[in-house]
Structure formats: C-alpha cells, structure tokens
Amino acid sequence: MISGDSAHHDVVVAGAGPAGLACALRLRRGGRDVLVVERARFPRPKICGGGLTGRVAEALRVLGLARRVPAIGAVCGEVRFGRFRRTVALRRPVEVVRRDEFDADLLAQARAAGIEVHEGEALTGFEVAGGSVAVQTDAGAYRARVLVGADGAGSLVRRRVVDARAAPVRLLQVEVPAPGLPTDTIVFDFTPMRAGLRGYAWFFPMPGRQFNVGLLHHPGADHESLDLDALLRRTLTEHGVVALQPPRAWPVWSYDSTQRAAIPHVLLAGDALGVNPLSGEGISPALWQGILAADAALDALQRRDFGFGGYALAVRRATVGRELNVDRRLAGMLYGAGGVTRWLPLLLFDDEMLELYAARVAGVTVLADEKPKLLKALVRHRFMLSRWRRRLDQET
C-alpha cells in the first residue's frame, strides 16, 4: 500500500475478465495489495466463441485456477472451403464453454483466493501525477502505484496508452441449434473468403446442444463495405440453419508488437492490448498478458521504478507475444491481397501445415518455436502452388 488509507492500493486493475483476474491473482501471490473494479455484474453477457484454444489450460494451472463449468471437448478440427473438407485429430481436446458461465466461475475462484473485486463499478478516468495514479470510478476514487487496463476491447485505458490508429478486427457471433455438424469437432470454414471475407466462419459445438457460429473479418481498405450480417446469414443457410436471434457484432483490436503497451504507472493487458490477428483468439493471450502485466508491476514495485519502458518488449519476447507475432504475419499473408488463392491452399492441402496449426490451436505446439517446419512449408508451397490452385478450382 502507498499509505494506511484504505483507498490506496499497490495496483488497481480495471476489468475482471480473464486478463484482469490473471493479473490480480499473480499480484496477490506476489504479496501485493490489489483491487479489481469491474463495470458489470457477473455473470455478464460476453460475445465470444468460447473456444479455450491455445495455452489456456497451462495458464489456468499456473494461476491455480480450474475450468469447472460445463464444456464440450472437441477432439477434431476441420477446415472447409466450398465442397472441400479436411478433418484432423487434435492432439489435445479443445474445450468450448459459455463465456458468461466461465468468467463468472473464474471470478468466484479469484474471490475465494482473496481477490477484492468491486462489481458494478466502472473506471471513469485516471491521472498520473506525483509518483502514483489517481483512479476515478463511478463509485469512488483510489490512489495506486499502478493501474492495469484489462478493460476489454472498448478499453478506456487503451485510449490514453496506444498512440497508433488502426482499424479493428470485426467479429460477429450467434448461437444456433445443432446444424447437422459433428458435435466433437471445431469447424473453420473459409468459404466466405470467396465473397470477400478476410477471415473465416467458425462452428463450435457448445454446452446445451447449441453451436456457436461466427465470422472474423480482418480490416482492409477494399472490403470495408462488406455486409457481415448478410454473409453470416448466408453461411448459416448453406448449413441449413436459420438463426433465431440476430447476430451480435464486436470490434476488437489485434495485437501489434510495435504499438505502445504501457505509459508510466499504467499497463495494458488482454483485449485492451490486442487479440490474435489471425484467429481472433483472445482468452489465452489475455491470461498470459495478465500474468506478464502482474510480473512487470511486481518488478516495478520492488525497484520503485514505474516507467514500464521495457513492458512492450517483455510481452513481445514472451511466448504469448512471439506466438501472436507469427499469427500476425500469417494473417497478413492469408487475409492480404490475393491470399485466398495464394496462401489458403497451403492451409487446406498441405497436411503437415494443417497438423502443425492444429497442434498450435490445441495448445501442444508453440508455432514460434517451429520456424524450421514453417520454412519447409514455404518451400513446399513454392513447388506445389500451381497444382494446389488447380485443385482449389476443382474442389469449390
């Protein structure tokens, strides 16, 4: 604590999603006094595919948390493009949860571990001055050595930290009754790329005999007028499904390692910092970035140096940052100009590449550590592309 005043804390965390709770738990384990302020009351609705992809299980273990809510364990992944389908067995099942349940349970576990969370209290502003940060909420004021902005994609904190302007990734999601798809498989359908989507449609089986279906659309100048709502409806119709509710849309920032991630006394984590630009995956990055923000704050509190000049680099060099950077490059290739005919065939038709990416989605491989395999895939791509293109034409 900065002083004996009860309104003073070592760290105030804004947001009790995966990033904020991971950060708070790590800080508490480091012996620090932390307060979490959360705008919503849990269980709060959260637009999400609910796929616990990547290294979620490992992060939960590190934090002393468990996935206790119902989940579907998908044992296969499938890629589709038109009539083409390829299924690959996942080396570890990918669990799919309902985010409102999952997040509420993480909050319950964090509270049981001694974390103080003020639900229904929104961060409204902050000022850095005099070696600390004055935090304003709609219910009070606090002073802390560090403020962590884990307040999601619409982050108020991010607006003051990130200087660069970027277009967000657009995501659209709806829950539908089982559309005749296997209930043990997560499906990634790239067919909508033919209609100009810079992304894919997902079909994730979820608890309650429902499917979580959505579209990811990467930003780009030439397709900004794309009607994602209509495209999602068309995609559902092709699978014989009529959505009973309208889809819900949510823009998110993609992680960019060249952007600022902190200013003195203030750190970003989770969606406030950025999701995976290729897949939109954000739960695993949020948990790991929350841990990294806590480690940076613990170090700063010990050294009494709150500049956080090295935080962006620490995130970039950590496994989560290296993984996000590889996927950022892949997104640039796949969703860039001509990506559908140039790079999509590598993912669809090259078995080794598909196996490799499936292992990364299942969290058993870190793609950033597989550069030799990625380089070999590029060599195969060079020699196979014209044959693969003919196949793409035939299959679709």
Q: Which residues bind ligand FAD (CB under 6 A)?
A: 14-20, 37-40, 44, 46-51, 53, 122-123, 150-152, 156, 171, 173, 214, 250, 252, 270-271, 275, 280-284, 286
DSSP code of residue 64? T
Of 19 and 392, nearer to ligand FAD (C-beta) is: 19
Query: Would you say 201 or 252 has its CB closer to ligand FAD?
Result: 252
Integer Cα distance of 192 and 196 in angstroms: 7
Least separation in angstroms between residue 294's CB and ligand FAD is: 13
Angle at 245 between CA 242 and CA 247, to 5 degrees: 95
Closest residue to bound ligand FAD by CB: 282
175 or 271: CB nearest ligand FAD = 271
Task: Check residue 221 and report its DSSP letter.
Answer: G
Residue 131 gets the label, from left (phi > 0), alpha (psi -120 to 50) or beta, of left
- Closest approach of Cβ 114 to ligand FAD, in Å? 20
- In the complex, minimum distance from the CB of residue 14 to ligand FAD, in angstroms, rounded to a whole number: 4
The tokens 């550590």 sit on which residue?
369
Alpha helices in 220-349 (DSSP H): 228-238, 283-303, 311-317, 319-334, 339-342, 344-349
| Minimum CB distance to ligand FAD, residue 33 (Å) | 18
Quick one: which H or E segment has residue 124? strand 123-129
The token pair that represents 307 in the structure block: 């500049």
In angstroms, rounded to a whole number, what is the distance separating the alpha carbons of residues 6 and 45? 31
Closest C-alpha among 206, 268, 169, 171 to residue 71: 206
Shortest gap between Cβ of 392 and ligand FAD (angstroms)? 27
Nearer to ligand FAD, 290 or 345 (CB): 290
Q: How far is 211 from 207, CA to CA, in rounded Å?
A: 8
SS3 content of the chain, % helix, strand, coil (to 5): 40, 25, 35
What are the residues facing 78 on neighbouring strands? 87, 187
Quote the least distance from Cβ 229 to ligand FAD, whole Å. 13
The residue among 47 and 75 lying less far from ligand FAD, judged by its C-beta, is 47
CB contact burial 244-282 (16+ within 10 A = b; e otherwise): eeebebbebbbbbbebbbbbebbbbbbbbbbbbbbbbbb
Nearer to ligand FAD, 281 or 323 (CB): 281
**Shortest distance, position 279 Cβ to ligand FAD, whole Å:** 8
Residue 248 CB, shortest distance to ligand FAD, in Å, is 7
10 or 38: whose CB is closer to ligand FAD? 38
Which CB atom, from 152 or from 345, has the smaller least distance to ligand FAD?
152
What is the smallest separation between the CB atom of 204 and ligand FAD, expressed in angstroms? Answer: 6
Nearer to ligand FAD, 199 or 345 (CB): 199
Give residue for tokens 């035939």. Answer: 394
